[in-house]
Amino acid sequence: MSDNQNHGSNGTPLTRRRMMQIIGASGVATGLAGCGGQSAVETDTQGDGGSDGSDGGADTETGTPTPTATPIQEDSESLAMIQELAYVTNQQLPVLPVQEKLAQSFQTTDDWSVPSTDSDKTQLYWPTEWLPRSGDWTSTGDDDRITFAQWAVPQDSQYNTWNGKNFAEPRRLLFDRFMKYNLATQEYSGYVISDYTLDGTSLTLNVREGQTWHNGDAVTATDVANQIKLDIYNGGSLGGFIAPEDDGKVSERVVASDETTVEVTLTEAVNEDILLAYLQPKYLIAHDGTYGEYVEALDSATTEDERSQALGNLTGMTEPEPVGCGPFQFEDADTQRTLLTKYDDHPDAGNINYPEAEYLYKPQNQGRWNSLINEETDGSATLFMPSNKLRQLPDSVQVSLIPRHWGMGLVFNFDQSPVDDPRVRKAIAHVVNREAVAKNSGAGTNSKIACTYPSGLTGEFNGQVEGAWLDGVTDEFETYGRGSAQTDRAAELLRDAGYEKSGGTWQKDGEPLTLPIKGPSGFSDWVAGANTIVSQLKDFGIDARANMLDSSTYWGQDYANGDFVVGMQGWASYSQAHPYFHFQWIFDSWDAKNAWNLPSEYEAPVLHEDVRSGETVVPGDLVAELSVASE
Amino acid sequence: MSYVLKRLGQSVLTVFVVVSASFALIRLLPGGPLDYLRAQMIQQGGSSMTMAEINQRIAAQTNIAVNEPIYVQYLDYMAAILTGDFGQSIWYEEPVASVIGPAIPWTVFLTASALFLAFTVGVSLGAVMAYKEGSRFDLGSTGVGLVLNSTPGYVVALLFVAYLGYRYQIFPTGGRYDSAIDPALDNPAFLVSVLKHGAMPIASMAVVGFGGWALSMRGNSIRVLGEDYLRVARLRGLSTRRIALRYVARNAILPMYTGLMIAIGTVFGGAVIIENIFAYPGVGFYLIRAINARDYPLMMGGFILITVAMVIGITIADLTYGWLDPRAKGGGSRESY
């Protein structure tokens, strides 16, 4: 990877590593590592299956990552801005961060050689994808087929990512990602994009040479450009930096200049780490022979109608037998499994000493747990396994833990009373004992940890919030009582907001303070969390009710239409973990604007006067500033 | 003849009413296919998709967007199914017939095998129980039959999966056959694998099914055994075997004929839950997926298949019962006996 071409404030070239140290040490990278595309599809799609609401969860005794916070230079402008945004979040609580979680990943060790659980090598999203490629997941000789699980019926699976349906797990071995990111070492390294250069608004991507698609076609810059373009045409976030106003410009700004070089023109200088966070997780799927016609149609579309017609054609296309570029190629799929065979021409094929990989159809968490216990499967990228099942795992199955930088929180609909009043939101935060919620939500696995400072920052497991991001300013932040219900403080706030306690219930103008909380019933850990929160609020005298809806109804209707007062939602960016993404999620996302109906402007005390002067703040502007290249 | 026409007319009307009601009811389900897709994407979230991106993708799914008023959709749908067109599955993006069609033989294999087992075992057991009326065997069997008949099939299925599947690993826990085996009818390994994969689902249904048949058979047989014509038969010196098979069994089974026909009518829809427990891709398996995904055409296809099979089963029972038992010939137009 080339160094960052941006310049530090003293005029010297600022390398990427240097920049990392300045703006956020381990946190930045750890954050970025959870980045986009490293999807937790594994369990999250199981909303209707009574599964965990997310993908992690493990017994911390099996090896919680040790806190490794790195000190941060306090004079960093970016850090100050991050702290300022965290402070606004902490003081205004547009969302209430409740807990963070660990992702749990499994590897069997009797027939397989894999790195130990404390190895940096397991700190990649996802180990099932990277360890085979790097030669760190090899057969010891008795097994010539690696076995994982998939959610969708194999023969119904398809691999057109833009279709959105049944994009099944074999993608992990069928397609290569643009880049690699290691959570522990906080480093990006090249993969299909072997190298890159960022010079102001010009981004150059170099494609790994000598790689071919499974039909023999060379992997070229055209394929990579196709991928970037199709993502942007489908609303991908990179579009905001490349063609924010007009999709018609995409084809001019993403160009394959030769066989192995893609030139991307940005509309403004962008923070390199944020750019990488978007690029790194992309799978290279857009084989020109398969998707070229769709790219061409979208490139040449001149009207909105033409574009939506072309998009409709793309999203309606299914690709059940894909031409991939990963180390395994598609062989066949029936109702029970997808069979892949090693593609010997892949540059990393030499690291793999088994000729086949299979994905067995396991549509329920229970089936996956039992398959791991019986060693029917050789591993799982990530899966929530409760403590009673963890105890049944044979000694030969190891569990690696990966900080997820994400977790359950409460979101408030600002168009609805009473949560449009910050005092009510703060009172809720004081009443809720987040430690108790995390404990019940973790169902005996200790996989959830309560947020100490509800601030929009992640890294609780690694001690990053306190030790790195908020180093030196934690005293200014309100904890709202992490492991206790601060009912006196809450009562004070409610009285200030005009409520009085009467007959054990908080009331205003004779009307009880009512808080209906909606959430997805399929996320069992969230349901447990919601019930705990409701019981705490009730004990305090708030008429709280948990209304757990069918997951599709909740996400697709109630949540998406803003039909809730208090909703359950991940409080941090699901896909990326750099604070930029969290604050963008909290203040500037579609959800914030349309589902939570957040205002653009807040009144909050100032933390760093050099970042803002008055109490009025537009967090979206600070987020936008954070995204551009730092000085 | 007019009875036959009337009866067929009733059947057609039943199918029409059920299809119309199903059409209306499934539209009352909260959410629609787009909501499901949106929910899927939100939950998958993984590929750094923002809600804006998700919305854009949803908007691009023009094939899912249903804009016509519901009565227009209803009329279009009814017109289409009359021509044998069940529409295109929204989730699988294939004609409904292509999704359900290949699943039908597997479902029929499960349900028909289970029914055959339950019926033959139940009838044989019931007959023996009747002959040994009042014995410990009869009492014990009646108790067991009652308990099993009152047990939901899915409970047995879950126990089978937990113990025979996962704990003792005697049978596979899902699928139709071992993927590593070449699926050819002349391949003995394939047939063995199919039987092995079908064993637990079939057993789950058969175990809870035979008790009912046994108790019916027992009751009918005891009633027949007390009939005068049996005494006459014995006095005629007919062999016990002849009496048991030709006189008792035949007359005892007769009242169960309608029940059997109705049971045959459930071959397509009788294994919905069982197929899902065993992850066995049959009709019921896809029906549940269709319901989750609000895949209206696929749901309707599944419901229509199940309804039609049931109506055909009952109609055949009605029309042929008179042939089996002349007393019932001609519907309700005769005097009662």
- Please write the tens of the pLDDT for every residue from A248-271: 889 999 999 999 999 999 998 888
Give the pLDDT confidence of B85-124 residue by residue, as tens digits. 888 888 888 899 999 999 999 999 999 999 999 999 999 9
Handedness of CA A238, A243, A249, A255 (dihedral sign): negative
pLDDT over 90 (residue A272): no
Paired sense of beta strands A543-549 and A514-520, if any? parallel
Considering CB atoms only, which of A48, A235, A556 is closest to B53?
A235
pLDDT > 90? residue A36: no
CA dist A608 and A600 (Å) reads 20
A364 or B221, greater pLDDT: B221
Record the pTM.
0.79
**Can you read off the two tokens belonging to residue B135?**
């014995």
Q: Tell me the pLDDT tens digit for each residue of A406-419.
A: 899 999 999 999 99
Which residues of A fall within a CB distance of 8 Å from B169? 374
Which one is predicted more confidently, A613 or B44? A613
B22 near A CB under 8 A: no
* Domain B104-330 CATH superfamily: MetI-like (1.10.3720.10)
The pair of three-digit structure tokens given for residue A421, joined into one six-digit string: 């009043």
Tell me, what amino acid is at B157? A
Determine, for residues B38 and A363 on separate chains, whether the beta-carbon distance falls below 8 Å: no
Test mutation, B48, B182, B278, chain A, max A CBs within 10 A: B48
Strands A602-603 and A616-617: antiparallel
Give A311→chain B minimum CA distance, Å: 6
Burial class (CB in 10 A: 0-12, 13-18, 19+), A8: middle
Task: Please give the average per-residue pLDDT across A622-627, as a whole number.
Answer: 89
Compute the mean pLDDT over every residue in chain A, rounded to the nearest whole number.
84
Would you place residue B50 in the very low, low, confident or very high pLDDT band (cuts 50, 70, 90)?
low
Choose among A167, A560, A576: nearest Cβ to B38. A560
Contact B43 A45 (CB under 8 A): yes
- The pLDDT of residue A22: 32
What is the structure's pLDDT at B296? Answer: 87
Tell me the count of A-B CB pairs closer than 8 A.
Answer: 168
Cα torsion A123, A129, A135, A136 to 10°: value is 40
Pick the residue from chain A with its C-alpha nearest to B168: A374
pLDDT in the model for residue A109: 94
Is B82 in a helix, a strand, or coil?
A: helix
Lowest model confidence (mean pLDDT) among A66-70, A74-78, A82-86, A162-166: A66-70
Closest of A176, A205, A203, A204 to residue A191, by C-alpha:
A176
Q: What is the pLDDT of residue B267?
A: 86
Q: Quick one: pLDDT at residue A548?
A: 93
By the CB < 8 Å criterion, does B294 face chain A? yes
Q: A384: pLDDT confidence band, cut at 50, 70 and 90?
A: confident
Question: What's the ipTM?
Answer: 0.73
Helix, coil or strand: residue A67: coil
Could you tell me if A4 and A631 are in contact, meaning their C-beta atoms sit under 8 angstroms apart? no
Q: A236 and B48: CB-CB below 8 Å?
A: yes
Map out the domains of chain B as residue ranges.
Answer: 34-85, 104-330
Range of lowest pLDDT (A375-379, B122-126, B331-335): B331-335
**Residue B285's closest chain A neighbor by CA?**
A153
